[in-house]
């Protein structure tokens, strides 16, 4: 009960303050801008991607008549889908690239990274709702709450409060509740506004589930900052000391820790240089089947074995087109080699990622960032999921083409052609991204840790308040 009386007083006091009015106005403008800007980004990206995907497929369907294996060289493009929630949190989207060229023999890297087109300044981060909630809101909490206890101590009010018979726990819960309601009074309208942005592009039920969890994550995160602010304010002898200490914590947790942790992960689990990676890759590619170079050692061996198996002496006597067969064997080897090297690289990334997740415990910002990106579908996991699906599609498409060459064309008939009807019937890239269940599964640990942070910081707050010194 006393806690509610304190919370009401805290609210009344904060709402009457100029500091609150100014901070709330600035935050509201920034949030509105961020939703608008992010919405614009999403809408244009979504349109571009949908169009580009249609165009790429149209190019494939309407390509000139050609030999199926030539079509494998002609290649096609696939695009990472733009998820409705990417407007809220762009995550690593700008850095990963979203376009992939698929062709025979080669596994390409994703291209068209948005950062490549931007000025250096934009690398500081875009003004997204995630940025406002994750970086600016904690600052808002600090500005409103740094004096919550320290100022009361300085003014001597804390002495009177405690002399009135107030329990320290009531003081803590009251202050937490008061600040919490102030934060909710701003965050809830913002989250509703963000919901409107989500409603517009016709998001599905899964997107709303994701958004609900993201919102909950941000609110828990802000709760952590309320606890931290009160703890520091209770410790500090003077309000200005509390302010400086809290700003230091904010800089360390929100600005430095993401970079420091990423740098540390890269340092402790270094990835090979581009040259080293390519050299190793090329070495393995050379020492295997080369569909275009029948004289290659491994190809010779394969030829002998195949002839023996079918009991014939020349490749043109085989019951199928040797060219198609050897192309597909080469393709399988190349895919194997690319995949092997890619997997080794991914294993290193995974180690870095594990380290990153372990060290996310250091800062609730890292935790909310991780879970938010994952729920928005703009994280590393979703990106690799797309790459894997695209590669699977590439293998299937090239396999389809080589198979056609092998079964339906005569040996040496490189002039034989397929027309539009055939190409239009080829497999389509139908990718919808990881299902909600999978997304939730990988977001859950970070969310759970975030909640743990909230509980532990609350317990620490209670502990500190029990020992609060009014003088």
Give the residues lining the site for another protein (CB under 8 A). Answer: 2, 5-6, 9, 12-13, 16-17, 155-157, 159-167, 469-471
What minimum distance in Å lies between the beta carbon of 162 and another protein?
A: 7
105: closest CA among 326, 398, 396? 398
103 forms beta bridges with: 106
Closest approach of Cβ 100 to another protein, in Å?
59
Decide whether 172 or 221 has the Cβ nearer to another protein: 172
| CB 111 to another protein: min, Å | 58
Would you say 152 or 357 has its CB closer to another protein? 152
**Planar angle of CA 236, 242, 243, nearest 5 degrees:** 170
Distance CA 313, CA 335 (A): 29
Burial class (CB in 10 A: 0-12, 13-18, 19+), 180: buried
> Which is nearer to another protein, 152 or 404 (by Cβ)?
152
Longest dimension (CA), the chain: 105
For another protein, which is the closer residue by CB, 169 or 348?
A: 169
- Compare residues 158 and 198 and give the one whose CB is closer to another protein: 158
Nearer to another protein, 146 or 221 (CB): 146
> Least separation, in Å, of the C-beta of 127 and another protein?
33
Minimum Å gap between C-beta 156 and another protein is: 5
CA distance 348 to 343: 9
Residue 167 or 269: the one with the smaller Cβ distance to another protein is 167
Name the residue nearer to another protein (CB basis): 2 or 381.
Answer: 2
In the bound complex, what is the minimum distance in angstroms from residue 168's beta carbon to another protein? Answer: 9
CB of 175 to another protein, least distance (A): 13
Nearest to 80 by CA among 63, 58, 56, 61: 56
Least Cβ distance, residue 17 to another protein (angstroms) = 7
Rounded least distance, CB 9 to another protein, Å: 5
User: Is 20 or 31 the residue whose CB approaches another protein more closely?
Assistant: 20
Q: Is 6 left (phi over 0), alpha (psi -120 to 50) or beta?
A: alpha
Q: How far is the CB of 466 from another protein (least distance, A)?
A: 10
Are 138 and 250 in contact, with CB atoms under 8 Å apart?
Answer: yes
> Using an 8 Å Cβ cutoff, are 371 and 447 in contact?
yes
Nearer residue to another protein within complex by CB, 3 or 242: 3
- How far is it, in rounded angstroms, from Cα 401 to Cα 422? 10
């Amino acid at each position: 009960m006393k806690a509610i009386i304190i919370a009401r007083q805290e609210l009344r006091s904060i709402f009457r303050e100029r500091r609150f009015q100014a901070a709330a106005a600035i935050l509201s403008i920034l949030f509105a801008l961020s939703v608008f800007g992010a919405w614009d980004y999403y809408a244009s990206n979504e349109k571009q991607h949908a169009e580009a995907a249609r165009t790429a497929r149209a190019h494939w369907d309407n390509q000139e008549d050609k030999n199926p294996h030539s079509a494998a060289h002609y290649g096609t493009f696939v695009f990472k889908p733009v998820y409705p929630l990417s407007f809220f949190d762009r995550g690593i989207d700008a850095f990963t690239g979203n376009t992939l060229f698929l062709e025979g023999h080669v596994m390409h890297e994703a291209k068209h990274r948005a950062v490549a087109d931007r000025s250096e300044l934009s690398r500081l981060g875009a003004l997204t709702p995630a940025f406002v909630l994750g970086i600016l809101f904690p600052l808002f909490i600090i500005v409103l709450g740094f004096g919550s206890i320290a100022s009361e101590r300085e003014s001597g009010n804390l002495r009177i409060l405690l002399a009135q018979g107030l329990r320290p726990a009531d003081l803590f819960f009251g202050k937490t509740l008061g600040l919490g309601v102030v934060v909710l009074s701003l965050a809830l309208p913002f989250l509703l506004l963000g919901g409107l942005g989500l409603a517009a592009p016709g998001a599905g039920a899964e997107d709303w589930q994701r958004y609900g969890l993201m919102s909950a994550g941000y609110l828990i995160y802000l709760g952590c900052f309320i606890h931290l602010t009160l703890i520091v304010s209770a410790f500090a002898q003077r309000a200005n000391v509390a302010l400086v200490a809290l700003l230091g914590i904010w800089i360390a947790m929100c600005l430095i820790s993401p970079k420091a942790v990423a740098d540390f992960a890269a340092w402790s689990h270094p990835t090979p240089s581009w040259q080293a990676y390519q050299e190793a890759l090329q070495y393995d590619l050379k020492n295997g089947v080369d569909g275009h170079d029948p004289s290659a050692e491994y190809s010779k061996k394969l030829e002998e074995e195949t002839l023996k198996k079918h009991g014939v002496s020349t490749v043109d006597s085989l019951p199928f087109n040797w060219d198609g067969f050897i192309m597909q064997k080469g393709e399988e080897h190349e895919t194997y080699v690319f995949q092997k090297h890619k997997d080794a690289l991914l294993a290193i990334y995974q180690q870095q990622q594990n380290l990153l997740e372990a060290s996310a415990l250091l800062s609730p910002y890292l935790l909310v960032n991780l879970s938010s990106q994952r729920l928005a579908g703009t994280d590393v996991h979703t990106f690799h999921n797309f790459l894997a699906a695209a590669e699977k599609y590439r293998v299937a498409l090239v396999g389809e083409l080589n198979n056609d060459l092998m079964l339906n064309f005569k040996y040496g008939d490189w002039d034989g052609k397929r027309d539009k009807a055939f190409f239009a019937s080829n497999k389509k890239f139908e990718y919808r991204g990881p299902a909600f269940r999978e997304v939730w599964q990988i977001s859950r640990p970070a969310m759970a840790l975030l909640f743990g942070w909230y509980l532990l910081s609350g317990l620490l707050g209670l502990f500190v308040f029990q020992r609060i010194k009014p003088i």
